[in-house]
Chain A
Amino acid sequence: MFGKSPPVTEASRGFTFTRRTMLVGGAQIAVGAALVARMTYISIVDNERYVLESESNRLNLTLIPPRRGWIVDRRGKALANNRVSLRIDLIPDRVQDADKLVRDLSQLLALDADTVQRVRRDLKESAGYQPVAVAENLDEARFASVLVRLTDLPGVAPARGFARNYPAGAAVGHLIGYVGGPTAEEYQKARDPLYVTPGFKTGKDGLEKYFEPFLRGKPGARRVEVTAGGKVVRELGTQPDVQGETLHLAIDGDLQDYAARRMGPQSGACVVIDCLSGDIVAFVSMPCFDPNSFSDGIGQKEWAWLNGDTDYKPLLNKATRGLYPPGSTLKPMAALAILKGGIDPAERVNCPGGYRLGNRVFRCLGRHGPVDMPTAIEKSCNTYFYAMAHRLGYDRIAPTARELGLGEDFQISGANQRYGTIPDSMWKQRKFKQDWSASDSLNAVIGQGYVIVNPLQLAVMTARIASGKALYPSLVARKPGIIKPLSYTQDQLAVVRSGMDRVVNGNGTAVRSRLELDGIQLAGKTGTAQVRGLASGSRGQSGALRFRDHGLFVCYAPTENPRYAAAVIIEHGMGGARAAAPVAKDIFTYLYDREKAMATLDALETGWGGTIAQRMARGFAAFQGMPVDLGEGEAP
């Protein structure tokens, strides 16, 4: 097979060598040229890109989450502020052995399984320098235990940040809301790296959410030069964060706290309004979550505990989202409407214990005999109002209800409302395609039937009756302005007010809740709202908690020149006079004589088993110890 080639000689071999050496040399030069071209390409054409990458290697820009603005009460006392929070983050780029690191940290920081899982997931998903939060609100000892081992834990970044703090805890939960880490959706929308900076929180509910842009502030930034191992070589500059603005509320923090505590173990709401300005000075819904728990990232168990309580509904803001039949608390409003309808307040209606409409008897709670308007309010006589409502028709009462704020969706910041219904014939036609009947009027006038309102509306109604002005409620402090008067004459208002005065200070339904103060008297109206219809036969005064009647009380004080108005509702309290009025009495006592009111509260709290925080801690412990079916629970 080699025969075809010409014989190789010494000379031809030398010639071949030279030729092939030139070939190899040429190939080497070609490779060299390719290398020069490649280097030129990388360093000249792609230079900009690689300079950027080299700079982003070298420099790290760490955002410093801004401190949130404080939320303060009308006197400047903090309802929400910031406290120092010791935290541990991870820088994914610098983590070498993620598994080992997470194991070590979970031991050092006593992380629970949930957290470990979340950290692992976050580490996997986030690449680069964007830190992953491991733990916050650490105590000094745990924080130090990580600090001393820092060299063995590459990628761990300890930091001193700020966490939201609510000094009053659960008392302001529904008022202020809470903050929490931004969700993935929020980040997708905002596309702001601040949203994935550990320690950054956004408002999730209430005022915290509504005033988020106002409270947020501007983040600071820290520029450092770091090694590949994550060691900071030097700090190149820090721009401090700008704290968010301070939000001034109309709320009286002390009163808010007192009212929340005075609610005791009961479920309910209380709204107190300043009759001069319409400012909401107390806005309470109890029981409540502790917003501090939320801002720390609430545990699953605690969430289950709060969410599972279907009787007391601690997650529901009852002051604006709780809807109740207002019962007799609407009688002063009805009286005003009747007066406007041209009826003489001195006219008497005989109460034989009920009112006959056709072949049906609408019952009254007593046999009041002949009653005039103030007496009807004082005694809460249904018969009087049945008769008047039948005569006027509810279409002439509903406008007054609306003028006093019932059924209105108030534009108060942060509080997401359900505003209920003030029915009339048009409403019924629209909703049910049915004509309004006389019995609808009778039911509506005593605050039953289709009528459904929230506690804020009741408080506004009372404040408007007490002041005679179209006060508009506000949680936020505002400049005083001119408030328009209502469309009723002073005489008409005086009749209604005298009726409400007599409820407490005469011979009415709430005489036991008379203020024990010199010269200051409370005027009010009780109400009892049925949870179950009358037809069920039960009067809602016994049996399972969730079927018991709600107790309501609306009131204002002092009777001369009213200053504050309030609405209190105690769910399943079985009666306004029994459950709600005593609470209102103590809250008003607090406004005028703190020591006396505190003494009352201290005694009560001893009986209930401690402060709100103590009772919540015990309740949660019990929940964790033995999960009971709270849905079937009995009243305490």
Chain B
Amino acid sequence: MIPVPQTIRRFPWGLIATLVFIAGFGMLVLYSAAAGSFTPWALTHAMRFAMFLSIALLIGYLIPLEFMGRVAFLGYAAVAILLFGVEVMGAVKGGSQRWLNIGFMNLQPSELMKVAIVLALARFYSQLPPGETPTLRALWPALVLIGIPAALVMLQPDLGTALAIVASGVIVMFLAGLPIWWFVSVGVAGAAALPILYGLLHDYQQRRVLIFLNPEDDPLGAGYHITQSKIAIGSGGLDGKGFLNGSQSHLDYLPEGHTDFIFATMAEEWGLLGGLALGLAYYFLLRWSTRVALGAPTRFGKLTAAGLTMTIFFYIAINLMMVMGLAPVVGIPLPLFSHGGSSMMTIMLCVGIIIAIERDKSVGRRPFG
């Protein structure tokens, strides 16, 4: 047997294969969505993926977890300022703006915040003395940390991202060991206050919720997205209509077929089997990150890995629920699959940090072993 150096053997090949599979599959679908062309989406998708994968590995291998912990609050503050800056800029220019142009892509600070909030909360709870866990001192700083970015993002208004930030933050709080009845009572109160929260939504957001509840009410208006998406998925059947043969996407019936509704584009051509393959890949990814969380030696590592797992999961679940008509249309892309730099950056940042957490253990057990 040819001797393979330890570093190469321990390289997370299984993880990389999973990520390459998801992004590569996404590229194929984007190629088809552009009617059999690498432009405008497939090529940039592949290039971005290569770049962000390199960045993720660099983060994982070069930045020690301990350092991440130390700069967690700083990073959070910086992203919060960026978020605020975008808000101010939008107000000055008139109209809402969510991104900063940084040359090769439009950077959405709200995307970075999904990562920053997890790091900041993990840092906070890892420093909290165990005895204070069930006290208010464990609660209010976390609420402030979550509340500020969530409010800023809601102002943009971007309901999907705000929910993602809240969801990741709350999961970290939950895993940090706060009393379970706090979550239960907030959950009950939240359910009771749903009508009031609904009233706070923008008209178009309210409409989306209503249409989600009854898409057939408006098959040509806002319910069109969900209806057409379901037609695309449903007409795909078990093994799809075949590569490049999706009529729903090619004839433009499916809106946003390369971004939010890319899963429908895929399912039309690859069918249920394509969906299961993609789902399995996501399952491997999430199983890996959950295992990393469980096996991490430090509390900061555990909480961070678990929180980022939730961030990734939230993307996947909400997007798939949306395209299958189980959730309102909120505009969340499918990680690594949809065309779009911001979400890919967020996910790969998460992956990079989780790699760092995995490597933080002295002697690695193989992640996909």
Within 8 Å of chain A (Cβ to Cβ): is B233? yes
Which one of B133, B220, B275, B293 lies within 8 Å of A13 (CB-CB)? B133
Given contacts A42-B324, A58-B251, A47 and B235 within 8 Å (CB-CB): yes
Bitwise, B317-360 to A at CB < 8 A (1) or not (0) is 10011001010000000000000000000000000000000000
What's the nearest-Cβ distance from chain A to residue B18, in Å? 15
Query: Quick one: CB contact mask for A34-66 with B, threshold 8 Å, 1 for yes?
Result: 111011101110110111011101100000000
Question: Residue A227 at the B interface, CB < 8 A?
Answer: yes
A50 touches B133 (CB 8 A): no
| CA A121 to CA B286, docked complex, whole Å | 54
Across the interface, do B303 and A5 meet the contact criterion of CB distance under 8 Å?
no
The stretch that binds B, out of A16-24, A67-75, A454-462, is A16-24
User: Cβ of B251 and Cβ of A57 under 8 Å apart?
Assistant: yes
* Given A24-B306, A39-B275, A51-B237, also A8-B133 (CB < 8 A): yes
Residues of A within 8 A of B294 (CB): 18, 21
The residue of chain B having its C-beta at the shortest distance from the C-beta of A34 within the complex is B326
Q: With a CB–CB cut-off of 8 A, which chain A residues contact B248?
A: 54, 57
Asked if A32 CB lies within 8 Å of chain B CBs, one says yes
Bound-state CA distance A51–B251 (Å) is 15
Cα separation A306 to B231 with both chains bound (whole Å)? 54
Smallest CB–CB gap between A403 and chain B, Å? Answer: 69
Q: How large is the interface on B (under 10, 10 to 19, 20 to 34, 35 or more residues)?
A: 35 or more
Asked if B279 is at the interface (CB within 8 A of a chain A CB), the reply is yes
Query: 1/0 per residue B209-235: CB within 8 Å of A?
Result: 000000000001000000010111111
Partner of A43, one of B271, B321, B326: B271
Structural contact, B267 and A39, CB atoms closer than 8 A: yes
Are B235 and A8 in contact, with the CB atoms below 8 A? no
| A28 close to chain B: CB less than 8 A | yes
Question: What residue in chain B is nearest A29 (Cβ atoms)?
Answer: B283
Does B302 interact with chain A (Cβ within 8 Å)? yes
B259 to chain A, nearest CB (A): 17
B-side contacts of A35, CB under 8 Å: 279, 317, 320-321, 324, 326
A-facing residues in B184-205 (Cβ within 8 Å): none
Q: How far is the CA of A442 from the CA of B172 in the complex (A)?
A: 116
Q: A24-B171, A225-B251 are in contact. Are A39 and B232 (CB under 8 A)?
A: no
Interface check B73, CB cutoff 8 A: no
Asked if A370 is an interface residue, CB under 8 A from chain B, the answer is no
Chain A residues with CB under 8 A of B252: 227-229
Say whether A39 contacts B324, CB under 8 Å. yes
Residue of A9, A28, A227 ringed by the most chain B CB atoms within 10 A: A28
Q: Which residues of B contact A127 (CB under 8 A)?
A: 220
B230 close to A24 (CB less than 8 A)? no
Interface string of B115-132 (1 = CB under 8 A from A): 000000000000000110
Kindly state whether residue B310 has any CB partner on chain A within 8 Å: yes
Decide: A21 and B131 in contact? CB cutoff 8 A.
Answer: no
Q: A2-B134, A35-B324, A47-B237 are in contact. Are A17 and B276 (CB under 8 A)?
A: no
Measured CA separation A24–B303 after assembly (Å): 13
Taking CB atoms, residues of chain A closer than 8 Å to B174 are 20, 24
Chain B residues contacting A93 (CB-CB under 8 Å) are 220
Q: Let me know if A21 and B290 touch, CB within 8 A.
A: yes
A31 sits at the interface (CB 8 A): yes
Q: Which of A13, A16, A43, A57 contacts B272 (CB 8 A)?
A: A43
A185 at the interface (CB under 8 A from B): no
A54-B310 in contact (CB<8A): no
- Considering the complex, which residues of chain A in the window 260-295 have a beta carbon less than 8 Å from any beta carbon of chain B? none
Most chain A CB within a 10 A radius of its CB, from B174, B231, B238, B282: B231
Q: B residues within 8 A CB of A2?
A: 134-135, 179
A226 touches B (CB below 8 Å): yes
Check if B247 is an interface residue, CB within 8 A of chain A: yes
- Contact flags B266-295 to A (C-beta < 8 A → 1, else 0): 011001100110010011001000100110
A residues less than 8 Å from B149 (CB atoms): none
B177, B237, B290: the one contacting A16 at CB < 8 Å is B177
Does A10 sit at the interface, judged by CB under 8 A?
A: yes
Q: Are B130 and A9 in contact (CB under 8 A)?
A: yes
Alpha-carbon gap, A17 to B171, bound state (A): 11
> In the complex, how many angstroms separate the beta carbon of B22 from the nearest chain A beta carbon?
15
Q: Can you name the residue of chain B whose Cβ is closest to the Cβ of A6?
A: B134
Given known contacts A21-B175, A43-B233, is B272 in contact with A7 (CB within 8 Å)? no
State whether B272 touches A40 (Cβ < 8 A).
Answer: yes
> What is the chain A residue whose CB lies nearest that of B317?
A31
Q: Is the CB of A44 within 8 A of B238?
A: yes
Inter-chain CA distance A46–B237, complex, in Å, is: 9
The answer to whether A39 and B272 touch (CB under 8 A), given A54-B232, A228-B253, is yes
Given contacts A2-B134, A32-B279, A50-B234, contact A228 B251 (CB under 8 A): yes
Give the docked Cα–Cα distance between A28 and B310 (Å). 9
Which of chain A's residues has its CB closest to B224's CB? A228
CB of B109 closer than 8 Å to a CB of A = no
Q: How far is the CA of A58 from the CA of B247 in the complex (A)?
A: 7
Inside 8 A of B324's CB, which chain A residues have their CB?
35, 38-39, 42
CB distance from A58 to the nearest CB of B (A): 4
**What distance in Å separates the Cβ of A155 from its nearest Cβ neighbour in chain B?**
12
Who on chain B is nearest to A1 by CB? B134
Cα distance A510–B232 when bound, in Å?
85
Q: Is A633 an interface residue (CB 8 A)?
A: no
The 8 Å CB contact of A8, one of B130, B234, B320, B326, is B130
Tell yes or no: A304 within 8 A of B by CB. Answer: no
Establish whether residues A13 and B253, one from each chain, have CB atoms under 8 Å apart when the complex forms: no
- Whether B234 and A57, one on each chain, are in contact in the complex, defined by CB atoms closer than 8 angstroms, is no
Check: A233 CB closer than 8 A to any chain B CB. yes
The CA-CA distance from A12 to B179 in the complex, in Å, is 13
> Counting CB contacts under 8 A, is B236 at the interface?
yes
A360, chain B: closest CB distance, angstroms: 81
Task: Give the distance to chain B from A482, nearest Cβ to Cβ, in Å.
Answer: 67
Asked whether A17 and B326 contact (CB < 8 A) given A8-B131, A50-B230, the answer is no
Q: Is the CB of A42 within 8 A of B290?
A: no
Residues of A within 8 A of B135 (CB): 2
Decide if A213 is an interface residue (CB 8 Å cutoff).
Answer: no
Q: 19 new A-B pairs (CB below 8 Å) besides A28-B317, A31-B317, A54-B253?
A: A2-B179, A8-B134, A8-B177, A17-B303, A21-B293, A25-B286, A35-B321, A42-B234, A42-B324, A43-B233, A43-B236, A43-B271, A51-B237, A54-B231, A54-B247, A57-B228, A93-B220, A127-B220, A226-B251
Binding site for A on B (CB under 8 A): 130-131, 133-135, 171, 174-177, 179, 220, 228, 230-238, 247-248, 251-253, 267-268, 271-272, 275-276, 279, 282-283, 286, 290, 293-294, 299, 302-303, 306, 310, 313, 317, 320-321, 324, 326
Ranked 3 nearest A-B pairs via Cβ: A50-B234, A54-B235, A228-B252
**5 A–B contact pairs at CB < 8 A?**
A8-B177, A21-B294, A42-B234, A44-B238, A55-B235
